Chains A and B, each alone.
Chain A
Amino acid sequence: MLKDLDPIAAPADAAPPDVANEVQAYLARQNGKDLLRFITCGSVDDGKSTLIGRLLYDCKCLFEDQLASLEADSGRFGTTGAGQLDLALLVDGLAAEREQGITIDVAYRFFTTDRRKFIVADTPGHEQYTRNMVTGASTADAAVLLVDARKGVLTQTRRHSTIVSLLGVRHVVLAVNKMDAVGWDRETFERIAADYRVFAQRIGITEVTCIPVSALTGDNVTTPSDAMGWYGGPTLLGHLESVDASAEEKLGSFRMAVQWVNRPNQDFRGFCGTVVGGPVRTGDDVAILPGGRTSRVARIVTMDGDLETALPGQAVTLVLADEVDASRGDMIVAAAGRPEVADQFAAHVVWMDEQPLLPGRSYLLRAGTATVGAQVTELKHAINVNTQEHAAAKHLDLNDVGFCNLALDRPIPFDAYADSRETGSFILIDRLTNATAGCGMIRFPLRRASNIHRHASKLDKAARAGSLQKPCVLWFTGLSGSGKSSVADRLEQELHRLGRRTMVLDGDNVRHGLNRDLGFTDEDRVENIRRVAEVSKLMVEAGLIVLVSFISPFREERRMARSLVEEGEFLEIFMDTPLEVCEARDPKGLYKKARAGQLPHFTGIDSAYEPPEAPEITLKGAEQTADEMVAQVIGELRRREVI
């Protein structure tokens, strides 16, 4: 039809008439292929990026213009010498990476062979970018670990293996690269392979394939090596084409986290989500967790039409037979094969934030579509990713791995990570920065939570306080010497004179008793505040006005203390006294000691103080008299009808 409008004829090499069938057949073949996601790890010196470049190049997955820009870049940044293509530059995509010749973040590349489609996540090898390697490994079916034949298995190979094992990547390939540089020597390869097998077995990697290659020359990458006739195994690509990628669902039982409730009108209510664990059929009995209500699958809705069965990996909308309530965060599961439901569990945690993980600090935990408050209640040990040794630890720093107990605000459904990546994994989010601060792999639930039952009391705090006052916490925060304790003291006397019931919790007093086991490290400060916050909560229950006078340097802990009591029951009072003034006062001589280096971790000197962002009351310790400050707080308490 187009040709009818055309003043010029189509060129003679126009497509033959059977093109539709030809393409149709090709597409059917493409669609029949499965997909393998793998990562490559190793430092740039091991030739990792070169190897990926080689795979793309040999699989004809590069276009002429990409090769042209590669030639230009090889001249500018290349390390392979004049006239040689530096295949690594194909992969390192960020300007900083090209300049520094290192990989910083994961790059995803795509290629296809006659047998399979591949997504390669090229992951950084440097320890400081471990979190980015973890990102790549979390979705990989296989891992290709590169070692330099001249150096053998190094610390970093062991580190990468540990991460790969933790993240549950099932197939590991040890590619012994740069065989050209060791004269294609069989003994060298076999020694490295034997070394590695012993190590891999020790850390629980069961399936290892070792292949001698040269990314530079291409030997054993996609074509068998003539130089290494002694090697009888598959090429790297040949192996990746045959690795079993389908054994993904160990679980066998259906689960679906509810992402979104679909309600176009009164007559339709569907629950949207992605099927994991096992197939779901219409008529199946299901339970909605954590609540536990049960129903039956009435319809499996898609835009193309309803399904009889949905397979793991499919995104569907389920309509249930009963008017049961379910919302985002709930999980619909096979009634006969349910996951665990608990509010405490043990898990491996990889920490990915500059701010260390502190036990007792509250984070947001995302598992499936549920978001709950969570804290590490016990850091059992840290794992040295280089040596695999376990060591006691008080906190986890960036890129550290630990084995921990976690407690959540409410129970969630989950499986062990070993059984299901999708329902056994979680991330931890920093409440203040919103950063993805850590990730975790659940090992097993902890049952102790279910044996503690809260005693329901007949009297509540309003009854205990009578008409006298509204119980609350007055939380004084500020530097040492800012005047917290003296103002709190004066304020309590004034409240007492007005006939109110009060209690003062002072940093020094509490540290002599309840908290005498705690020091001044960041993790101990967090625990110190947690205990004080819990005690002040009990005192609010008792009907008291509680005056808490603690440096409490971290916003996160003050926020946690606030969250323990009800809205309006927590008044943050910021003693805004400049450091110079506090240091000049130095009532206990502490600043002098700190400056002399005798008091490590002293707030304001070598430990940070995070001022409140929106305190209910700010007192200017250097400008106001004590009486003025007391009067200001009393006025605010009257305005808020606390007294």
Chain B
Amino acid sequence: MPAILTTPARLTHLQRLEAESIHIMREVAAQFQKPVMLYSVGKDSSVLLHLAMKAFYPSKPPFPLLHVDTTWKFREMIAFRDRMARDLGLDLMVHINQEGVRQGIGPVSHGSAVHTDVMKTQGLRQALDAHGFDAAFGGARRDEEKSRAKERIFSFRTATHRWEPKSQRPELWSLYNGRIHKGESIRVFPLSNWTELDIWQYIHQENIPVVPLYFAKPRPVVERDGTLIMVDDDRLPLRPGEVPEMAWVRFRTLGCYPLTGAVRSTAATLPEIIREMLLSTSSERQGRVIDQDAAASMEAKKQEGYF
């Protein structure tokens, strides 16, 4: 018989957020035939996964994990991904856009826009279509970006995966309408109401494993167009005059390594990371090269089917 916990007089802020996310996940499990959880290996995915374990305990989450691998993820991310799936005993599916691989698409040769579109957006659409998933969880938060701030928790996608920002379904109370026709799908964002601070605070409180790249240590980097790029393997061609230097850095956000800038930092523990974040004067997505391509670029990418 497990221990009996005492209940506080009032729920904390994090308990409320946790309960809301669990409620959303259970709705998806009950309303859809074939849900899947997009697992991007980052800190938000770690929280999402932890919440899924809680939502269905003592059962396992009744859906698989899907990682759309662009082949340019940090090596530590891939190792962490495989370890998490193994430790938790979950079904992990990895999809790589083979067409993109055949064409040799990469962030260095083709630029961030083409790479992201082919390897991430198209790859995601291929994987969802191939398996016939009718609902897909993502870890996006409304505090990340302007068009995300507008998106519903159950976000409807047409049969061609398009988001129609101007005609979203009204979403009232905690009544989520997951009814769709064949071929259509719903993207679900259980972390919509969490902030970056909430995420770190929850990771700290719940002792949730995250990729070591979030913690500072000396890493080989080059400074390129004002961004610190980590030299993760020999696929990153160095420009004339570029010499990798060892620097104390860490990552606030994780994507493909040539597209994700590191920050100089010595924060090697969770409290230090949280302290650094509180003192920071820039937002987390600043390190993402892909968001700065064009004004309202996230909205355009999302309409095409990006998460």
Contact = CB atoms under 8 A, between A and B. Distances in A.
Contact of A8 (B20, B60, B180, B218): B218
Interface stretch (A400-408, A426-434, A443-451, A538-546): A426-434
Interface string B1-38: 11111110011111110111011001101100000000
B170 A439 contact: yes
B286 A63 contact: yes
Contact of A315 (B7, B55, B247, B299): B55
A11 B12 CA distance: 37
Interface stretch (B104-112, B235-243, B265-273): B265-273
A73 interface: yes
Interface in A616-632: none
A317 interface: yes
A138 B177 CA distance: 15
Contacts of B175: 366-368, 425-427
B180 A434 contact: yes
B54 interface: yes
A434 B136 CA distance: 18
B4 A307 contact: yes
A308 B7 contact: yes
B281 interface: yes
Q: Which of B20, B175, B246, B267 counts the most chain A CB atoms within 10 A?
A: B175
A217 interface: no
B166 A313 contact: no
A411 B197 CA distance: 44
B58 A117 contact: no
A272 B62 CA distance: 14
Nearest to B59: A264
A260 B152 CA distance: 22
Interface in A271-316: 272-274, 279, 301-311, 313-315
A110 interface: yes
A520 interface: no
A31 B5 contact: no
A44 B30 CA distance: 40
Contacts of B121: none
Contacts of B218: 5-8
A422 interface: yes
Interface size band for A? 35 or more
A473 interface: no
Contact of A98 (B267, B271, B296): B296
B177 to A, nearest CB: 5
A364 B179 contact: yes
A268 interface: yes
Q: Is the interface of A mostly helix, strand, loop or mixed?
A: mixed
Given A104-B166, A305-B5, A422-B174, A94 B147 contact: yes
A7 B246 contact: yes
A352 B272 CA distance: 48
Given A262-B56, A307-B4, A35 B149 contact: no
B267 A15 contact: yes
Nearest to A96: B166
A274 B282 contact: no
A434 B181 CA distance: 8
Contacts of A32: 12
B93 interface: no
Contact of A19 (B150, B172, B272): B272
Nearest to A263: B59
Contacts of A64: 281-282
A108 interface: yes
Nearest to A10: B266
Contact of B280 (A63, A73, A119): A63
A324 interface: no
Interface in A476-497: none
B149 A107 contact: yes
A14 B265 CA distance: 9
B12 A65 contact: no
B105 to A, nearest CB: 27
A241 interface: no
A199 interface: no
A313 B16 contact: yes
Given A14-B266, A31-B12, A132-B170, A306 B278 contact: no
A603 B205 CA distance: 64
Interface string B213-257: 001111000000000000000000000000000111000000000
A109 interface: yes
Q: Which of A30, A96, A328 counts the most chain B CB atoms within 10 A?
A: A30
Interface stretch (A21-29, A143-151, A185-193, A583-591): A21-29
Contacts of A132: 168, 170
Given A308-B4, A328-B30, A301 B58 contact: yes
Given A95-B296, A259-B26, A307 B58 contact: no
A105 B169 contact: no
Contacts, number: 241
A35 B247 CA distance: 40
B13 A33 contact: yes
Interface string B45-81: 0000000011111111000000000000000000000
Contacts of A209: none
Contacts of A6: 217-218
Nearest to B246: A8
Nearest to B177: A436
B160 interface: no
Contacts of B205: 27, 31
A247 interface: no
A301 B280 CA distance: 39
A373 B296 CA distance: 41
A20 interface: yes
B5 A313 contact: no
A5 B215 CA distance: 14
Interface string A220-263: 00000000000000000000000000100000000000011011
B5 A139 contact: no
B58 A274 contact: no
Contacts of B275: 15, 19, 22-23, 26
A263 B60 CA distance: 10
B7 A311 contact: yes
Nearest to A20: B271
B193 interface: yes
A382 B27 CA distance: 33
Contacts of B271: 19-20, 22-24
A34 interface: yes
Nearest to A116: B13
Contacts of A429: 177, 179
Contact of B174 (A10, A13, A274): A274
B295 interface: yes
Given A5-B217, A108-B192, A317-B57, A93 B7 contact: no
Nearest to B53: A303
Interface in B148-185: 148-150, 165-166, 168-175, 177, 179-181
B5 A307 contact: yes
Q: Which of B22, B149, B295 counts the most chain A CB atoms within 10 A?
A: B149
A93 B299 contact: yes
Nearest to B142: A108
Given A15-B267, A109-B143, A314-B15, 16 more contacts: A8-B218, A14-B266, A19-B271, A27-B205, A30-B13, A63-B282, A65-B286, A108-B150, A119-B193, A139-B174, A260-B30, A302-B54, A303-B58, A305-B4, A309-B7, A439-B170
Kindly list the 10 A-B residue pairs having the minimum CB-CB distance in the complex, ordered from nearest: A93-B146, A23-B271, A303-B57, A315-B22, A434-B179, A63-B283, A138-B172, A264-B59, A315-B19, A259-B26
